[in-house]
Amino acid sequence: MDIERARFNMVEQQIRTWEVLDQGVLDLLYVVRREEFVPPSHRLLAFSDLEIPLTKSGDASETMLAPKMEARVLQEVAPKRSDRVLVIGAGSGYLMALLAACAREVVSVEINPLLKETAENNLRRGGVQNARIFAGDGAKGWTDTEAFDVIVIAGSLPILPDEFPNALRDGGRLFAVVGDAPVMSARLITRLPGNAFNAIDLFETVLAPLRNARQPKRFTL
């Protein structure tokens, strides 16, 4: 496979056509080598428009986001060099690496010990020094001593716990996919001064839920 041709096609045919037009984002996709974060057994699919499995079990919640989703996330949260970023679900570490290339610090929480180790190894090989991963369940929020400028939730949630937007600094941005299949919305929430929030539904999509995601109350007759 011609790696660079495949990368070019991914950017031009998948990502640009999905309304990702920020040149900084597009340029970064040529710098951070996606194929180096993909499991060896799936490396030929590194630039394909699909969610790549990260574990042998085939658990739908343990996949890499599709390339166009990763790029769209990056464009929407628009990380800055001074930003502190939280990622719920480390996955392969690739999304963390993209964010780390733009931000001051990236912190992630990963529930699967094997994925945590794999992501740490991938980040180390990629020379990413401003990212770290904690073992834990971040589906209902993550407590830290310092607020975040950006939060990305790399799995869907039936409902969005208040703990996530409350962990943002003023001006901070949160990306989450909220809802139940087959109707989910990619949502961008911005924290405003005075403990106010602005929420925009960006597009409809379907994404595997985070493990142990909080469920809404169900009423039965």
Range of the domain at 126: 3-205
Residues 108-117 have a mean pLDDT of 96
Q: Is residue 221 part of a domain?
A: no
Q: Is residue 166 part of a domain?
A: yes
Q: In this predicted structure, what is the pLDDT of residue 60?
A: 60
Check pLDDT > 80 for residue 39.
yes
Q: Is residue 117 part of a domain?
A: yes
Q: In this predicted structure, what is the pLDDT of residue 23?
A: 98
Q: Is residue 217 part of a domain?
A: no
Q: What pTM was computed for the model?
A: 0.94
CATH number of 78's domain: 3.40.50.150
Going by pLDDT thresholds of 50, 70 and 90, the confidence category of residue 141 is confident
How many domains does the structure of the chain reveal? 1
Spatial CB neighbours of 207, under 8 Å, sequence gap ≥ 6: 65, 69, 155, 156, 177, 184
Q: Is residue 216 part of a domain?
A: no
Going by pLDDT thresholds of 50, 70 and 90, the confidence category of residue 214 is confident
Nearest to 47 by CA among 58, 33, 59: 33
Q: Is residue 89 part of a domain?
A: yes
Q: In this predicted structure, what is the pLDDT of residue 142?
A: 85
Check pLDDT > 80 for residue 220.
no
Residues 182-186 have a mean pLDDT of 94
Average pLDDT, the chain: 94
Q: Is residue 158 part of a domain?
A: yes
